[in-house]
Amino acid sequence: AQARAPGPDFLDANQGPAAAARAFLAALGERVGLGADAPDRLVFVIDNLDALRPEAAIGWIDAAHGVIGAGSAGILALDPARLVDPLGGPGEARRRFDKWLQVVVNLPGRVGLDGERLIARLLSSDGQAGPAPVDAKIATTFVEPLSSSETALLTALAPLAAHSPRDAKRFLNAYRLARCSNAPRPVVALMQAVAFADDEVQTAMRTRLAGESGEIGEIEGPESLVNAVKAARAANNGAISVADGRIAADVARRYALSL
């Protein structure tokens, strides 16, 4: 035993459990992507975090954010609304979630669930609900590089959505998901930026979309919103219909935190 080379840090008997666990995850991250047999990425999937008390869930997310690092991704399933009060109200909750989450996906509710189709899938797969087939078009769109026109528009929309490097990354992540929809991309980009903007901007856009059909032309609101609409109209060849705006707004809400 004395002749052996030192082992990894997480096997050091002098470390406490928490320190050893952090060292173990750090060692995993350091080895991701190194060598032909090494994994490209480690994905930690945590389902039903709502089973924990709100205070315990907050502590768990905070700890996971600190240790799931290089070469890894963490996916959490939870209802953020139940953590708002324990976090100190909507403002502080938004600040903490913005720190923890790089992308948000709001799943639809179970109202109107097609029970017959679900039962048929379970029966045909011996009780195991297999994954739905991946749409090849969506998969291609998701990995498609941003075009020069998209890059220019996203830059013009940044004053609405990005007030820090973290905001910018979250906005771009959300747009990459939202553009997989069938709505026009310039309109999707605009509505995604609005979904990440402050309450004044969101209220102004909701008021415009709730009005008569037609086109979204001149809009009343903050200067940043007025300029964003002009940039999106130019990228969309000069016209954005209210109908397209409503569809894109619904898409954008799927990828924005709502508290």
Total domain count for the chain?
2
Q: Which pLDDT score, from 0 to 100, does residue 124 have? A: 75
Per-residue pLDDT at 158 exceeds 70? yes
Rg (CA), the chain: 22
Residues 37, 145 within the same domain: no
Please check whether residue 128 lies inside any domain of the structure: no
Please check whether residue 3 lies inside any domain of the structure: no
Please check whether residue 18 lies inside any domain of the structure: yes
Mark which of 73, 100, 127 sits at the end of a domain. Answer: 100
d(Cα 147, Cα 128) in Å, to the nearest integer?
41
Please check whether residue 107 lies inside any domain of the structure: no
Residue 147 structural domain: 136-253
Per-residue pLDDT at 1 exceeds 70? no
Residues 142, 240 within the same domain: yes
Residues 153, 220 within the same domain: yes
Question: 86-127 pLDDT, tens per residue?
Answer: 999 999 999 999 999 999 999 877 666 667 777 777 777 665
Instruction: Name the token pair of 17.
Output: 């459990």
Residues 94, 146 within the same domain: no
Per-residue pLDDT at 229 exceeds 70? yes
From the list 163, 160, 168, 164, the residue with the least C-alpha distance to 228 is 160
Mark which of 83, 100, 117 sits at the end of a domain. Answer: 100
Question: 195-215 pLDDT, tens per residue?
Answer: 999 999 999 999 999 877 788
Per-residue pLDDT at 222 exceeds 70? yes
Please check whether residue 50 lies inside any domain of the structure: yes
Per-residue pLDDT at 220 exceeds 90? no
Residues 156, 88 within the same domain: no
Q: Which pLDDT score, from 0 to 100, does residue 25 have? A: 83
Per-residue pLDDT at 219 exceeds 80? yes
Please check whether residue 116 lies inside any domain of the structure: no
Task: Give the confidence band of 234 by pLDDT, cuts at 50, 70, 90.
Answer: very high
Please check whether residue 181 lies inside any domain of the structure: yes
Burial of 153 (0-12, 13-18, 19+ CB in 10 A): buried
Whole-prediction pTM value? 0.81
Residues 57, 157 within the same domain: no
Please check whether residue 110 lies inside any domain of the structure: no
Q: Which pLDDT score, from 0 to 100, does residue 174 have? A: 95
Question: 30-77 pLDDT, tens per residue?
Answer: 888 888 888 888 899 999 999 999 999 999 999 898 888 778 889 999
Region 141-146: what's the mean pLDDT?
88
Residue that is written with structure tokens 């979630």 in the block: 97
Task: Give the confidence band of 191 by pLDDT, cuts at 50, 70, 90.
Answer: very high
Look at residue 90 and give its three-state secondary structure.
helix
* Mean pLDDT taken over the chain: 87
Q: Which pLDDT score, from 0 to 100, does residue 255 have? A: 95
From the list 248, 245, 183, the residue with the least C-alpha distance to 213 is 245
Residues 78, 147 within the same domain: no
Task: Give the confidence band of 218 by pLDDT, cuts at 50, 70, 90.
Answer: confident
Per-residue pLDDT at 246 exceeds 80? yes
Residues 147, 215 within the same domain: yes
Look at residue 87 and give its three-state secondary structure.
coil
